[in-house]
Each structure stands twice: as structure tokens, then as C-alpha cells.
Amino acid sequence: MKVLSNLMIKQFIVLTMCMILVCIAGDLSANKGLEIAILSDKNNDGFIDSSSTMTMNLINKRGDVVTRKLRFKRLEVPTDGDKSIAIFESPRDVKGVAILSYAHKVEADDQWLYLPALKRVKRIASKNKSGPFLGSEFSFEDFSFQEVEKYEYLYLDEEIYLNNPCYVIERKPLDPYSGYTKQLVWIDKENYLVQKIHHFDRKSFHLKTQLFKDYRKYDGFFWQPHEIEMINHQNGKKSILIFDDVKLKSGFTDRDFSQNSLKRSR
């Protein structure tokens, strides 16, 4: 009887230690995931402002291509999420339509839409972020800035992706209105740049793959991918976003990112 109870105690101790180890390991991998995300996010700190043109190619299953053009401006807000404006250039019927976004670290972003035909600035519910952006495979959510605080992280593995040693981390959006349940993110070990994201939809199906290509360095520190590709595995379509005329420090101020400034955008 005594032997048996001794054995049980031993088993109990071993089991407890195992559980503690698993917990610590879990905690460690959560911490390591978060650390990598923070380092990746810190990459572009101090860019002050940026502007670029964007060409979006929407490609269907048959390979037919239609093109959309936008202008994009962004202002760094050190204490909160960044401010940005996207102005549509083509197709012609949406020329001058603009979207102003104030990203926030934790709470929902603020967004306004400008409709030049009506000369109207309309506040929009940023909760509707899982819908497609301009008919593309990108959602509004994919376009917003992915503040570190908006996710929960888990470190998974190391993996070579296109000859780059990468960390693979899993992140889960904390926002219940996100269109994704989780994302797997490949971040390279050398520069902490996001190389690839697998997006899992609400049914935990691997819906989309996002590839970041042609990173170029500006002002000695600011990394800009010049091509972002989004492949939808469900409908076989893909969208390719090409960035050109990237400029830093144009001297934008808060006034260039106000609701009033939207009315001047066209």
C-alpha cells in the first residue's frame, strides 16, 4: 500500500513538473513570438512620413488582368497607430474617392470615406474590415497597419524560405470583427522583415497567402516591399500590389490627414 502511494506521489511530481515545463515552454514561445513581432514592427520606427503610388493588378483564374491605381500617404504617430490616406486614381468612375484612416494600437481604427461626386465625407464603421478592398483579394484589414497590440503571438519554428532563414510565428487577432482566426507569419532572421503570411478564415481554412517581395531600403533604414501578392486559394484569384515613387519625409503634417484635407484631395 505504502509502495503504491509512493509510486503515485512520484508520478504526481513528475506529472506536475512536466506540466510546469509545458507551461513555461508555452510562455516562452508566446514571449519569443511577441519579441519577434516587436522587433519586426520596430524596423521602420522614425520614418516620419512616406508617400508612394500603388498599382493593383487583379488577376482572375483565367489570367485576365485589370488594373487599379492609387496614391498613398502615411504619417507616423509615435504614441498611437499611424494616419494614412489612400486616393483612388483609376478606374475613372472612382477617381478622387479617398479613404482616411487613423490606426489605433488597441481600439478600433477610425475611418472616413470621401465621395467627390457628392462632395461628402462619410465616417465609416471600421468594424466592417473583413470585406474586399476595391474588388481585390485584399481586405480592408490587410490594408490597415498591423499594430503589435492587436494580436496574440506564439513562436512556432525556424524555416528556410526562399534561401532566407526565417522565424515562423502564429498570431491570432484579438479583434472579434477580424475576418481571420489566425495567421502564420514568416519573418526573416537577418532584418526581421515579413516575407509571407498564411491567412486562416473563420472556419480555420487556409484562405489566402500573402507574399512580400522586392524589399528596398530607404534612408538607410526604412524597408519598403515593392510588391505584395495576395493569392486566394478558394476562388483561384490573385491581386498584386506594386509600389512606386516611394518617398520619405515629405514634411506632411496632421493637417494633411484631417477630414477637411480629404475634400481637397480631388
Partner 1 sequence: MPKSPLMICILFSQLIVGEIIGELSFDNRYFFNAGLQEQKKNHTSFSFSPEIFKDDSNKIFHFKAKLRKDSEDSGRDLNDIQELYLINILEDKEIKFGVSKEFWGVTETSHRVDIINQTDFTEGFDGEEKLGQPMIKISLERQWGLLDIYTLLGFRERNFSGNKGRLRLPLSINEKGPLYSSSSKNKRADFAIRWSNYYDDFDIAISHFSGTSREPRFLPSANKINELVPIYEVIDQTGLEIQYLLDGLAIKGEVISRSGQGERFSAATYGFEYTQVGVLQTRIDLGWVVEFNHDDRLESSPFVLGTRFSFNDIYDSQILSGFIVNDKSKELGFLLEASRRIGECCMLSLEGIYFDDTDEDNGQKKLFQAFKDDDFLRAEFIYYL
Q: Which residues bind partner 1 (CB under 8 A)?
A: 58, 60, 66-67, 90-95, 110, 118-120, 123, 125, 127-128, 130-132, 135, 177, 179, 255, 258-260, 264, 266
Grid coordinates representing 195? Answer: 516575407
Could you give the residue ranges of the DSSP H alpha helices within the chain?
Answer: 2-42, 140-143, 259-262
**Least distance between partner 1 and beta carbon 143 (Å):** 14
Per the CB < 8 A criterion, the answer to whether 86 and 70 are in contact is yes
**Least distance between partner 1 and beta carbon 174 (Å):** 15
Q: Which is nearer to partner 1, 12 or 177 (CB)?
A: 177
Q: Which is nearer to partner 1, 132 or 173 (CB)?
A: 132
**Least distance between partner 1 and beta carbon 214 (Å):** 25
Q: Which is nearer to partner 1, 179 or 225 (CB)?
A: 179
Per the CB < 8 A criterion, the answer to whether 137 and 231 are in contact is yes
Closest CA to 242 of 203, 216, 206, 207: 216
Grid coordinates representing 155? Answer: 513562436
**Least distance between partner 1 and beta carbon 218 (Å):** 21
Q: Which is nearer to partner 1, 40 or 265 (CB)?
A: 265
Grid coordinates representing 206? Answer: 487556409
CA distance 21 to 16: 9
